[in-house]
Chains A and B, each alone.
Chain A
């Protein structure tokens, strides 16, 4: 019986790992590409800096708050979407850079 429960839990874990996707957002020319993104809760977003200067991606959304800090040219940072909802991601250095993320359960 215990073994069955363990197998069931393991299956659940594996299935969640299987379905979590990674989405790549490029930062190029002081723009998020694409600038709109639909994700599932639990998915990850990788922010790639293709510009030859620094960026700093963050959101002040209460449920999904993150700040990857200063991101040097050519580097990437990944975050996990924690909650459903629509939120705006900005660059702390370049406020004209806006990404709208829609997350669903």
Chain B
């Protein structure tokens, strides 16, 4: 039951591994056999199911119109497919950033674009309280949830120590448990990495070689998740960032963090346009050219990442890399979106 809920994708990988095997140089691209999870919040079917209900429940917002899924929806690539979180926040509020994809967040050890928290438990309650998002103070939400008998029962089953008393800690743990199961499904590239040489076409294979080599994409988009969790200013804005996005520099005024944002996963990247933290890049072709050919303003960007260089890619090579990235699109995720919620 637990494997069915949380490790379907992993299970398929294990099945694949029994029939084909990865070569040594492909091992770093293979999906880990387990989803990382903290010892004090191990995954159980009850926790995942409870977290899923909370994730889709609009009653967690002040307006009762917005849920976590509003901006991070499974049918919209676990984001909202708009440049910034425009007109989806509380009373049409506009968020300052492109809603980040939550796919494979379990594999990241810093959450949000600016990495301001480490764990999914810390992340889970942030958007609930944010005034431009769900705008729900926890001192209002917690008593509200404690009046819903159905939720109290589910919390008691998922977290017996709670004894059915819902707290911020248990709320965060439940939502994080569901988020931890939002893992990319098997993609053609996974089959290729496991040894099925026909799983991707010739152009995608060329693209993969460029991705690892000339284009230096793996300097940041590395390993199974196609992100090493690193932070970079890739030159979306020119010069000083007066009035613009300061990125992780807002968390702490560290010189290396001026204008930097976290490297996103490339898994299912075809499903989550537009791209970048400001949603200013519409296509994968544009994104690839921007990252691998020197940034948008490569000559005058303060704290431009030393990783962003003109790699001299021509149009065909960029098309090859895009063809490769398309092989990271997984099979449709089997997820039953709840329509009825605890009363």
* Contact A95:B232 (CB < 8 A) given known A56-B256, A69-B255, A72-B306: no
Cross-chain contact B306 with A92 (CB below 8 angstroms)? no
Interface residues of A in 64-105 (CB under 8 A from B): 67, 69-70, 72, 92-96
Of the candidates B229, B255, B306, which one forms a contact with A95 in the assembled complex, judged by CB atoms under 8 Å apart? B229
* Contact A93:B230 (CB < 8 A) given known A53-B306, A53-B307, A72-B306: yes
* Contact A30:B306 (CB < 8 A) given known A53-B219, A92-B256, A96-B109: no
Cross-chain contact A92 with B257 (CB below 8 angstroms)? yes
Total residue contacts A-B, CB cutoff 8 A: 43
Cross-chain contact A54 with B228 (CB below 8 angstroms)? no
Is residue B65 within 8 Å, beta carbon to beta carbon, of the partner chain?
Answer: no
Cross-chain contact A93 with B219 (CB below 8 angstroms)? no
Is residue B330 within 8 Å, beta carbon to beta carbon, of the partner chain?
Answer: no
Nearest CB of chain B from residue A53's CB, rounded to whole Å: 6
Cross-chain contact B229 with A69 (CB below 8 angstroms)? no
> How far apart sit A26 and B232, CA to CA, in the bound complex (Å)?
22
Nearest CB of chain A from residue B122's CB, rounded to whole Å: 14
Cross-chain contact A92 with B231 (CB below 8 angstroms)? yes
Q: Determine the chain B residues whose CB is within 8 A of the CB of A72 once the complex forms.
A: 306
Cross-chain contact A95 with B256 (CB below 8 angstroms)? no
Cross-chain contact A54 with B230 (CB below 8 angstroms)? no
Prevailing SS type, chain A contact patch = loop
Q: Determine the chain B residues whose CB is within 8 A of the CB of A56 once the complex forms.
A: 256
Chain A residues within 8 Å of chain B by Cβ, number: 15
- Chain A's closest residue to B252 (CB) is A60
> How far apart sit A30 and B219, CA to CA, in the bound complex (Å)?
10
Cross-chain contact B307 with A95 (CB below 8 angstroms)? no
Cross-chain contact B219 with A95 (CB below 8 angstroms)? no
Prevailing SS type, chain B contact patch = loop
Q: Determine the chain A residues whose CB is within 8 A of the CB of B254 once the complex forms.
A: 58, 67, 92
- Chain B's closest residue to A95 (CB) is B110
Q: Determine the chain B residues whose CB is within 8 A of the CB of A94 once the complex forms.
A: 228-230
**Interface-centre pick from B110, B115, B254, B256 (highest chain A CB count, 10 A):** B256
Q: Determine the chain A residues whose CB is within 8 A of the CB of B260 once the complex forms.
A: 93
Interface residues of B in 205-263 (CB under 8 A from A): 219, 222, 228-232, 252, 254-257, 260
Cross-chain contact A70 with B231 (CB below 8 angstroms)? no
Chain B residues within 8 Å of chain A by Cβ, number: 18
Cross-chain contact A69 with B306 (CB below 8 angstroms)? no
Nearest CB of chain B from residue A96's CB, rounded to whole Å: 5
Q: Determine the chain B residues whose CB is within 8 A of the CB of A54 once the complex forms.
A: 306-307
Interface residues of A in 6-55 (CB under 8 A from B): 30, 53-54
Q: Mark B295-335, 1 if CB is under 8 A from A, else 0.
A: 00000000000110000000000000000000000000000
Nearest CB of chain B from residue A86's CB, rounded to whole Å: 18
Cross-chain contact B231 with A93 (CB below 8 angstroms)? yes
Nearest CB of chain B from residue A21's CB, rounded to whole Å: 28
Cross-chain contact B232 with A93 (CB below 8 angstroms)? yes
> How far apart sit A70 and B228, CA to CA, in the bound complex (Å)?
18
Of the candidates A60, A70, A95, which one forms a contact with B109 in the assembled complex, judged by CB atoms under 8 Å apart? A95
Q: Determine the chain A residues whose CB is within 8 A of the CB of B110 once the complex forms.
A: 95
Q: Determine the chain B residues whose CB is within 8 A of the CB of A70 once the complex forms.
A: 255-256, 306
Q: Determine the chain A residues whose CB is within 8 A of the CB of B219 once the complex forms.
A: 53
Interface residues of B in 258-297 (CB under 8 A from A): 260
State the 4 A-B residue pairs at the shortest beta-carbon distance, nearest first: A92-B256, A56-B256, A54-B306, A94-B230
Can you sample 26 A-B contacts with CB below 8 Å? A30-B222, A30-B228, A30-B230, A53-B219, A53-B307, A54-B307, A60-B252, A67-B254, A67-B256, A69-B256, A70-B256, A70-B306, A72-B306, A92-B231, A92-B254, A92-B256, A93-B231, A93-B232, A94-B229, A95-B109, A95-B110, A95-B229, A95-B230, A95-B231, A96-B109, A96-B228
Chain B residues within CB distance 8 Å of chain A: 109-110, 115, 219, 222, 228-232, 252, 254-257, 260, 306-307
Chain A residues within CB distance 8 Å of chain B: 30, 53-54, 56, 58, 60, 67, 69-70, 72, 92-96
Other CB < 8 Å A-B pairs besides A93-B230, A94-B229, A96-B228, 4 of them?
Answer: A53-B306, A69-B255, A96-B109, A96-B230
